[in-house]
């Protein structure tokens, strides 16, 4: 029991540090979550909401959602064994209100890992933050199509992410320059950058197996960085069968994109 308590406290500290380093890259991150949940209150007014935290990482959305909606339930899905271990180790199951699922969104059958209780029309909302930009455009299109089917009629998909303008745009270049300046200022002020956080994680003895497995998923230099533009995201959501699609908040190229089923 002592070892378990120590491990949980250690994971909780990594979660805290995760939030701090993420603030470097998304300057108004907590505001983003607030906007996301404000949208839920507008479109999903019934008590006991069930949401899918898509590409959840260590569960930032789920943690905040369950705090704001005490009767809610969340399913947190990701493929990264390290982030899942930290999230589940630090947050647990929140009294049975949080379920962790490992699945790779690049696998067309990823939704099957949710189980029979989480099939078509099971979720009031599908939520994601700072994750889907990792997907290639074809993979993103497929994920949106599947996610749309998981929503009940009237449900919402909310993606808070880096959704850039077209490559070569002067506005995009300006946004990127401003963002680089913000990041550098935060790091110079003492914030822990992404690389340092991951170095601490990789040195954590309880995560050794998960780290080794993660390295087989994404060998050094193997990730495809060709992310989709804002226009592509919007078109893919419409193609997936969602109706109203639009940006309701943004700061530079960090945007909150909402689509209604």
pLDDT band of residue 1 (cuts 50, 70, 90) is very low
CA distances from 179 to 93, 122, 153 (A): 35, 38, 37
Condensed to tens digits (0 to 9), the pLDDT of residues 208-231 reads 999 999 999 876 555 555 689 999
Burial of 251 from C-beta contacts in 10 A (0-12 / 13-18 / 19+): middle
> What is the average pLDDT across 142-153?
98
Q: 189: Cβ–Cβ under 8 A, 6 or more apart, which residues?
A: none
Confidence of residue 2 (pLDDT cuts 50, 70, 90): very low
Residue 126 has φ and ψ, to the nearest 5°, of -115, 120
What mean pLDDT comes out for the span 200-205? 94
Give me the helices (H) in the chain, please.
2-25, 29-43, 60-68, 81-91, 137-150, 170-188, 194-202, 208-217, 230-239
Strand pairing class (98-102; 254-260): unpaired
**Residue 24 falls in which region: left (phi positive, over 0), alpha (psi -120 to 50) or beta:** alpha
Residue pair 219/125 in contact by the 8 Å Cβ criterion: no
Q: What is the pLDDT of residues 35-70, one digit of tens each?
A: 999 999 999 988 899 999 999 999 999 999 999 999
> Using only C-alpha atoms, what is the Rg of the chain?
18
CATH topology for 2-260?
Rossmann fold (3.40.50)
What is the pLDDT at residue 4?
58
Q: What percent of the chain lies above the pLDDT cut of 70? A: 94
Report how far residue 74's alpha carbon sits from residue 88's, in angstroms, rounded to the nearest whole number.
13
The whole-angstrom separation of Cα 65 and Cα 59 is: 10
The Cα–Cα gap between 66 and 43 comes to 17
- Per domain, the residue ranges of the chain are 2-260
Is 119 or 4 the better-scoring residue by pLDDT?
119
Residue with tokens 């990730």: 223
**pLDDT, mean over the chain:** 93
169-187 per-position pLDDT tens digit:
999 999 999 999 999 999 9
């Amino acid at each position: 029991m002592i070892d378990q308590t120590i491990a949980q406290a250690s994971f909780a500290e990594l979660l805290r540090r995760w939030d701090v380093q993420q603030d470097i890259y998304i300057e108004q991150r907590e505001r983003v979550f607030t906007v996301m949940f404000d949208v839920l209150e507008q479109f999903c007014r019934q008590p006991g909401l069930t949401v899918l935290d898509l590409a959840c990482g260590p569960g930032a959305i789920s943690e905040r959602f369950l705090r704001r909606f005490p009767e809610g339930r969340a399913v947190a899905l990701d493929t990264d064994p390290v982030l899942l271990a930290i999230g589940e180790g630090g947050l647990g199951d929140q009294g049975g209100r949080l379920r962790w699922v490992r699945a790779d969104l690049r696998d067309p059958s990823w939704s099957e890992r949710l189980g029979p209780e989480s099939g078509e029309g099971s979720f009031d909302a599908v939520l994601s933050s700072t994750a889907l930009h990792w997907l290639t455009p074809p993979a993103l299109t497929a994920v949106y199509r599947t996610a749309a089917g998981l929503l009940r009629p009237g449900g919402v998909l909310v993606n808070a992410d880096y959704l850039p303008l077209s490559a070569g745009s002067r506005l995009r270049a300006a946004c990127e320059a401003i963002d680089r300046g913000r990041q550098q200022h935060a790091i110079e002020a003492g914030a822990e950058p992404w690389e340092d956080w991951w170095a601490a994680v990789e040195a954590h003895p309880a995560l050794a197996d998960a780290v080794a497995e993660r390295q087989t998923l994404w060998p050094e230099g193997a990730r495809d960085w060709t992310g989709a533009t804002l226009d592509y995201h919007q078109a893919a959501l419409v193609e997936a069968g969602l109706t109203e699609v639009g940006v309701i908040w943004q700061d530079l190229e960090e945007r909150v994109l909402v689509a209604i089923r």
